[in-house]
Amino acid sequence: MRVIKEYDERKKEILDSAERLFNTKGYENCTVNDILKEVSIAKGTFYYYFKSKQEVLDEIVNRYTEVVINRVHEILEDQNISPEEKLLGAFMSMQVHQQVGDSMMEEIHKAENALLHQKVLNQMVEAMTPYLVKIVEEGIQKKVWMCRYPQQYMQIFLASALTLTDDGIFNLDAEDQLKVMAVLISVLEKMLEVPEDSFMNLFMRNQE
């Protein structure tokens, strides 16, 4: 057990240091040697834990999405809320900046961290889709809504929502952000063939 703990602690130390360096220097400008100096380890030790700098980046992205996925899993398993509440709650949990902090998001949005930014968005879509599909299928079974293509619709909605609400891509003021959110909710209602404002009314109640 002690060996496993030491392995996990060392790996976490490398990831923590690499994340700091990626955020300050940018992923492209940071080298494996920079990480070695930061952690004070030999090159062989680094490659014992990671095959490449790319693999380190992938692990860091996993950290961002894991927090969101854990929250969505809790929502999915909650038997005391409706499918509508589950779906809306899952979407609200996807706001990455709430999970990693505003300062971290500022770093991710920098031009030199474009690859990290792209990976966060891509992995969020891939990781979230199966959970949202389960919620949609639950709603179909309970005859809450209809949806012919749950997986494809959720992929389209996720990609659109994450892109349009990302400050690093579209710098919208508060009024435009509300308009975008209203349009996204309207699109969701059409995808699920529910009455207009069904989700909007629920969203507004949750904001009170």
pTM of the model: 0.74
Residue 101 pLDDT > 70 = no
- Write out pLDDT tens, residues 138-187: 999 999 999 999 999 999 999 998 888 877 677 778 888 888 888 999 99
Q: Where exactly does CATH 1.10.357.10 map onto the chain? A: 54-207
- Write out pLDDT tens, residues 43-62: 999 999 999 998 998 888 78
User: What is d(CA 63, CA 120) in angstroms, rounded to the nearest whole number?
Assistant: 10
Architecture of the domain defined by 54-207: Orthogonal Bundle (1.10)
CA angle 176, 178, 180 (to 5 degrees): 70
Query: Which pLDDT belongs to residue 134?
Result: 94
Helix and strand numbers, DSSP H then E, in the chain: 11, 0
- Domain 1-50 bears CATH identifier 3.40.50.261: no
Q: Where exactly does CATH 1.10.10.60 map onto the chain? A: 1-50
Query: Which pLDDT belongs to residue 26?
Result: 80
